[in-house]
Chains A and B, each alone.
Chain A
Amino acid sequence: MIIELGHFALVLAFALALVQFVLPLMGTRLGDPRLMAVANPVTLVGFALVAVSFAALTSAYIQSDFSVVNVWENSHSAKPMLYKVTGVWGNHEGSMLLWVLILSLFGAMVALFGRNLPDTLRSNVLSIQGLVGAAFLLFILVTSNPFTRLSPAPLEGRDLNPVLQDIGLAIHPPLLYLGYVGFSVCFSFAVAALIEGRIDAAWARWVRPWTLAAWLFLTGGIAMGSYWAYYELGWGGWWFWDPVENASFLPWLSGTALLHSAIVMEKRSALKIWTLLLAILTFSLSLLGTFLVRSGVLTSVHAFATDPSRGVFILMLLILFIGGSLALFALRASSLTQGGLFHPVSREGSLVLNNLFLTTATATVLLGTLYPLLVEAVTGEKISVGAPFFNLTFIPLIVPLLIAVPFGPLLAWKRGDVYAVSQRLFAAFGGALLVALLGYFLIDGTGVLAAFGMGLAAWLMLGALTDLALKAGIGNVSLSVAWRRFRGLPRSVFGTALAHFGLGVTVLGIAAVTSLDIERVMVMRPGDTMSVAGYTLKFDTIAPQRGPNFTEDRAHFTYMDAAARVQGEIISSKRLYTARQMPTTEAGISTIWFSQLYVSIGDATSDGGIVVRVWWKPMVLLIWLGGVVMMGGGVVSLLDRRLRVGAPARRKEKAAPAGVAAR
């Protein structure tokens, strides 16, 4: 009964989404405030209906109701409760429902917090959100209904894919979707601006927090997914340039560009058309990501069984949204007024540079990801584009940008002075050079590239600190004044510095791991030892054990330092999930500061040993900690008074154009 209720709620939500699309749009066209007033309540009720539907599916998972096909395919009564709940989005149907839930949540938030937006803008935005929602609800109802029943109901479920029974994957999809779908708001705002043929600073003030929020969730989602792949798949890699990974990285790159161009638009009302285009492209890339992951058209190490008919449906949606919005852009963009002149060497100029590099990098990654599809369509030949391609193209494109990062925040608006800024960055440059030299001469195994990477990381981190120090006036004024100024800096300045610092942290982790990691593969028997990175690893025992829904062989290791003192123990196991008869490798990881000792065990050999693969991963945690710091920067920026949505205006905005209320 609850299941049928959930299904019915979903159908109703689809109907309401159509109403949400049509009526407010008609209202803005006809100038009828009664039709426009429909937008808010319909959006909120639509969200409530999708939430009911999602709750119904969740309850079926909690109760292990195997009369629902989706639950039977992806759950098991012996599964821990946490994974019963997260199993809701651990499959195609459920994850699409989560997608739509988050989409309607964002719509509801626009409706709730956007009361002081101009009526026409809000109605148009909600209308576009309604269209996107309707399309995806239709997709779920037609091709991926999670509420299909099964009769007679089986006694036991087939269990969730074991690699998904993990806390990392419990959090990864919701974060990623919050990011993907968050960009839908920017998209709707862009399309609404095109429909109205008007775009102003108020528009940019509204779009920036949404971009920031979406971006920070996406950052978290990508970092989480990368860490999950690192420890769960047992091969010790953290990024594979795999199509599915690229699918999430593409909107992140263009979203980062959007974040920066929206600043120019807000502060200087320049780059308006470009910002609109980026907003459209970013959400298009999110949709493309959904398509690539859900259709399985590309060979991916992360691919799951897929159904081609769904791929075709999403492809149609893709054509509708991307084609439609770009066509609208082509028709209307020229009617928008450009403004804000600036010198090439200026804060605006540096942000244009940022956008140029980021969008080119996006285009390169996009080309590399889709190239196999293009070639197959044209010549029929099957090729693969792997890590060597991306390393050769992406890295040379992104390194100049990273070098330029510390300059940006120090340049003045309108016209800057590179020479003066270089002088101010002299200390940061010296520090970076020192780090590179120390890395090159003191650490064994570093080549020129590794030392350069470490220097670059130090440059980014010191550059971010320099920015804060200079803005507080340290060195020019007395310390107490500087401290007061420091505390008085706008939060967005801290946010920028924190995000750029986090970027440096990630670069440091990448440079260290790529050049200094050590891998040993060896057949070991209990009692054997192996030495790695100054530690001695001893294989103690291996014994079978039973878990709730799996059996496993647990190998117990201890590791000792050079003086033979025991430093810790590592447990690595090979599991067999009984319901699916599917084996998984559970890597044993021991964290030593930011570095990790990573042990994974393989198959038994004919002579009674077991293949053991051990990695020493220096500073590897920094890769993801940097992501967390970047997220922190996003959060701090979002708390900036000027951006806080719905906060009362402290000062009357002077130049609120066209009679738009300040916020």
Chain B
Amino acid sequence: MAMTRKQKRLSIIGGAMLFLGLASGLTLYALGQKTSYFYMPVDLKAAAPDPGQRIRLGGLVEKGSIVRGDNTEIHFSVTDQAHSVTVAYNGILPDLFREEQGVVTEGVLRSDGIFVADSVLAKHDETYMPPEVADRLKETGMWQHADGTDEAAQ
């Protein structure tokens, strides 16, 4: 099968385009399905995510809210000073998990309003604050005039 120079080039380009097309399709699909949105407690009050939708919940660990259960279960509240959400987590918390520290948890909101987290973001540095939480807490500083219209303000 003798191929002309043009055919060789076309076959390479055609194969590459096909592959790139598949890759882009896959990527777009994955971006639609596999990304999780970031919520603060107040966002959950304003508009709850679809049931079963994975989200990230961030805020501060509320003071005095950490309750250790029978086995490895643990409950704590994540607050943005305006609202708070109870988080249920089963496992070992990261070393730097403390009251009144910034935290990002990932999981699903149950219909009874308890957030079931399967991961709690750890960090390596005690002065580090997840950027989403930091940004939103700065906004929270001016919360009085943004309350209720928060979605529009974003």
Contacts and interface: CB of A to CB of B under 8 A. Distances in A.
Interface of A: 161, 163-164, 233-235, 296-299, 301-305, 341-344, 349, 352, 356-357, 360, 363-364, 367-368, 371, 380-386, 388-389, 392-393, 396-397, 521-523, 580, 582-585, 600, 602-603, 605-606, 611, 613
B72 A521 contact: yes
Interface stretch (B34-42, B79-87, B109-117): B34-42
A298 B131 contact: yes
B143 to A, nearest CB: 17
A304 B96 CA distance: 13
17 contacts: A161-B125, A299-B121, A299-B132, A303-B130, A305-B125, A344-B3, A356-B16, A356-B19, A356-B20, A360-B20, A371-B31, A381-B38, A384-B106, A388-B30, A393-B26, A397-B23, A523-B70
Contact of B95 (A381, A522, A582, A605): A582
B92 A523 contact: no
A249 B123 CA distance: 20
Interface in B1-38: 3, 5, 8, 11-12, 15-16, 19-20, 23, 26-27, 29-31, 33-38
A297 B130 CA distance: 9
B126 interface: yes
A299 B70 CA distance: 32
B144 interface: no
Contact of B106 (A234, A342, A364, A386): A386
B128 to A, nearest CB: 5
Contact of A385 (B26, B34, B95, B123): B34
Give the 3 A-B residue pairs with the shortest CB-CB distance, closest first: A602-B92, A382-B38, A388-B34
A364 B35 CA distance: 14
B24 to A, nearest CB: 9
B71 interface: yes
A343 B96 contact: no
A611 B92 contact: yes
A613 B33 CA distance: 31
Contacts of A303: 123-125, 128, 130
Given A392-B26, A611-B72, A521 B31 contact: no
Given A233-B122, A367-B31, A582-B126, 17 more contacts: A301-B121, A301-B122, A356-B16, A368-B27, A382-B132, A383-B35, A384-B36, A384-B37, A385-B35, A388-B33, A389-B34, A389-B35, A392-B33, A583-B95, A585-B95, A603-B92, A605-B71
A397 B26 contact: yes
Given A299-B104, A381-B37, A584-B95, A344 B27 contact: no
Nearest to A389: B34
Nearest to A606: B68
Given A303-B124, A343-B8, A606-B68, A521 B27 contact: no
Contacts of A392: 26, 29-30, 33-34
B127 interface: yes
B140 interface: no
B93 interface: yes
A393 B123 CA distance: 26
A602 B91 CA distance: 9
Contacts of B122: 233, 235, 301
Given A234-B92, A584-B95, A611-B92, A352 B125 contact: no
A603 B124 contact: no
Given A301-B122, A305-B127, A523 B71 contact: yes
Contacts of A386: 34-36, 106
A570 B3 CA distance: 65
Contacts of B131: 296-299
A580 B126 contact: yes
A508 to B, nearest CB: 25
Contacts of B30: 368, 388-389, 392-393
B154 interface: yes
Contacts of B128: 296, 303-305
B8 A344 contact: yes
A381 B154 contact: yes
A380 B154 contact: yes
B68 A605 contact: yes
A603 B126 contact: no
Contacts of A360: 19-20, 23
**Residue among B11, B16, B95, B127 with max Cβ neighbours from chain A (10 Å):** B95
B125 to A, nearest CB: 4
A599 B24 CA distance: 41
Contact of B125 (A304, A397, A585): A304
A319 B124 CA distance: 29
Contacts of B72: 521-523, 602, 611
**Residue among B70, B106, B123 with max Cβ neighbours from chain A (10 Å):** B123
Contacts of A606: 68
B26 A349 contact: no
Nearest to B67: A606
Contacts of B27: 364, 367-368, 393
Contacts of B125: 161, 303-305
A603 B76 CA distance: 15
Interface string B133-151: 0010000000000000000
A445 B46 CA distance: 44
B92 A344 contact: no
A341 B3 CA distance: 12
Contacts of A393: 23, 26-27, 30
A212 B127 CA distance: 38
A583 B90 CA distance: 20
A233 B122 CA distance: 9
Contacts of A357: 19
Contacts of B91: 521, 602, 613
Contacts of A384: 35-38, 56, 106
A164 B125 CA distance: 10
Contacts of A522: 71-72
A364 B132 contact: no
Contacts of A342: 8
A611 B74 CA distance: 11
